[in-house]
Structures are given as C-alpha cells and as structure tokens.
Amino acid sequence: MDENFNSKHFSLEKVSDGIYAAIAKEGGGALANAGFADLGDQIIIFDTFNTQQASQDLKDAAEFITNKPVTTVMNSHWHGDHIRGNQVFTDSTIISSETTFSKMKELHPSRIRKQKEDIQGLANYIESLKKQLDSDTDAQLQNKINFLLELKFSLSSLELVLPSQTFIDEWSLKGTKRNAKLFTLGGGHSYCDAMLYIPESKVIFMGDLLFVDCHLTFFEESNPEKWIEILQKVDRFEIDTVIPGHGSIGTKEEIKNNINYIESLMSVVYRNDEKNASEVPDLYMDWDSPEIYFQNIKRLEESLSR
C-alpha cells in the first residue's frame, strides 16, 4: 500500500513505475477494483467503483501521487460497480466500447431510479441487519452493513454519467513516459469487456474478465466459451502483472487459473456431475465467495437448457 494515501474504500498498491491498483476493501463503497496509470502527459483511470465517494478517493489518490489532473477515464464494462463513480470525472474524457456505452444508457437509468425511490426500503433492510448483528458478531455481516450504508449514502446524489467517447475494438494512448491500449475482444463476462494494457510495463487491467482467489461471477449475459477464448488470447501477451476486477493483484498464471475454472464448471454442467455440482471442488475451496460457485452452476444449467 502507498503510505501517503489511505482510503476506507480501497487499498492503493504500486504495481510498477507510474501504475497503481486500487484493490477494493470489504465494507467500503468500491465493491470492485480500479486503478490508474501515469502516461507522462496523461493520467488514465481504469473503472470508477460502485459509489461516487469511493471514486472521489480514487481521483484524489491519482492526482495526489502524480501531481497532475486526471485526463482520461475508462469503463471496462457496463456493470454498476465499475461505472457508478463516473460523475466524479466530468472534467475528464470518459471512454468505453460502443457496446458498453449503449448498455449503460439502456439499462442504468431505470435501475438507478428504482434504487432512489426505495432508499427507505434500503434503510429498513440495514436496520434489520443491525438487529441481527446485536446477537451475532459476524464480520461478514458487519461488512455487508457497512457496504449498504455506503450505497445508501451515495444514492441521494447519484447521477448516471455516460462515456463521452467510444471505440469499437481499441483506442491507443501515446504518452510521454509510456503508452496504453484500451481494447476489447468481445464479451465473455458481460456483453462487452474491455481491458487496459501498458506494454512497456507488461501490466494489464482486466476488469471482470479476471478474478484472483475468488469465484468468477457468471450472469445470464456471460458467454463461457467466448470468455475462455478471450483469456487464451490475452495469455499470449507479454504480461508480468494482472489486475483483476475482483481479488488481489496477480501474475499471468492467474489467467490460466481462470480458464481452468471456467472449463471445470462447464464440465460439471455438461456431464451432469451431481457430486461436483453440490459441493465446491477442493481446488477452489479456499477462494472467497464460495456461494457464487453454486450460482454459476445454476446459470450454466439455465444457459444449457435454453
């Protein structure tokens, strides 16, 4: 962690010269990882967290450490924990793929409106959890309460800010210190997943195409075959360090681990392997959020039935 900056929402970790990962803390308002890169004459933020207060800390960290304003922001995909902090960066150029832009525009307004209309319902739910906490000192429950309080705090002033620039396949940034490439190989986790690659540093921000030491999350829109294909292509890049959408900073080996995980899940479902569908395999027993394993099995089964 960088000793000169502290946030309750994330741990700031120096990855390489001029490149930092912001790893989400449990109970904070981040929910997913983000980060930034100093290209010399440009500062690029990768993803903006789930709340504007977490995003503000990210902006403050980037500008404090680089002593320069944030020029560019990238949204990896349309999911809320990667884009809901965009409003903090209205003075910067916000970039996404065309698909991500269209899905944000299509799906978020109604979601945000419903959440704003039910702030009291959220407050009541938080109070019910606090009552459970009175008789239970479960740290996970406390983290959930803390996160929901951050969400509630964000809702009153939350605004959807869409990207101002879009690309189809890739967008190159040439800096005075280092270059960066924003690119997508299509959709695996979401309808379209984009990454940030800094070739000179051999660092890649992968968004939710990569999870480290925690279970990958499948949605109805996820495409496991395409996801594997994307990871196989990225595995051929020159990479020393990977920053996942969730979990800790990893090495290129994590890409293979994610491929194996998806292949394992697909095998369980396609072979109708009831034993491995009902319990987490030993290989992934220590990974965070084991309940997601069973959600993934269910989603793959539903996908197969369709």
In a domain, 259, yes or no: yes
pLDDT truncated to tens, each residue of the chain (306 aa)? 444 688 999 999 999 999 999 999 999 999 999 999 999 999 999 999 999 999 999 999 999 999 999 999 999 999 999 999 999 999 999 999 999 999 999 999 999 999 999 999 999 999 999 988 876 668 889 999 999 999 999 999 999 999 999 999 999 999 999 999 999 999 999 999 999 999 999 999 999 999 999 999 999 999 999 999 999 999 999 999 999 999 999 999 999 999 999 999 999 998 887 777 889 999 999 998 999 999 999 999 888 776
Report the pLDDT value the prediction gives residue 139, as an integer from 0 to 100.
Answer: 86
The C-alpha atoms of residue 236 and residue 252 are separated, in whole angstroms, by: 10
Domain residue limits at 35: 10-102+160-305
Report the pLDDT value the prediction gives residue 3, as an integer from 0 to 100.
Answer: 47
Residue tagged 């949605």 (tokens):
219
Q: For position 173, which CATH number holds?
A: 3.60.15.10
* Same domain (yes/no): 45, 89: yes
Query: Which phi-psi region, left, alpha or beta, contains residue 24 (left: φ > 0; alpha: ψ -120 to 50)?
Result: beta
The C-alpha atoms of residue 174 and residue 29 are separated, in whole angstroms, by: 32
Identify the CA nearest to 206 among candidates 253, 164, 163, 246: 246
Report the pLDDT value the prediction gives residue 116, as an integer from 0 to 100.
Answer: 97
| Count of Cβ atoms closer than 10 Å to residue 67 Cβ | 8
Report the pLDDT value the prediction gives residue 135, as an integer from 0 to 100.
Answer: 66
Chain centroid to CA 297: 21
233 and 263 Cβ atoms separated by less than 8 Å: no
* Same domain (yes/no): 130, 165: no
In a domain, 4, yes or no: no
| Count of Cβ atoms closer than 10 Å to residue 297 Cβ | 18
Residue tagged 């890649």 (tokens):
204
Quote the pTM value.
0.95
Report the pLDDT value the prediction gives residue 1, as an integer from 0 to 100.
Answer: 43
Identify the CA nearest to 44 among candidates 56, 34, 52, 53: 34
* Strands 179-184 and 194-198, sheet pairing: antiparallel
* Same domain (yes/no): 221, 85: yes
* Same domain (yes/no): 115, 222: no
In a domain, 5, yes or no: no
270 and 304 Cβ atoms separated by less than 8 Å: yes
In a domain, 244, yes or no: yes
The C-alpha atoms of residue 206 and residue 191 are separated, in whole angstroms, by: 15
Q: What single string gives the DSSP state of each residue in 115-130?
A: HHHTHHHHHHHHHHHH
The total domain count for the chain is: 2
The pair phi, psi for residue 284, each rounded to 5°, is -115, 15
Report the pLDDT value the prediction gives residue 58, as an integer from 0 to 100.
Answer: 98
Report the alpha-carbon angle 167-247-52, nearest 5. Answer: 60
Report the pLDDT value the prediction gives residue 124, as an integer from 0 to 100.
Answer: 98
Report the pLDDT value the prediction gives residue 153, as an integer from 0 to 100.
Answer: 98
Final residue in a domain of this structure, among 134, 155, 176:
155
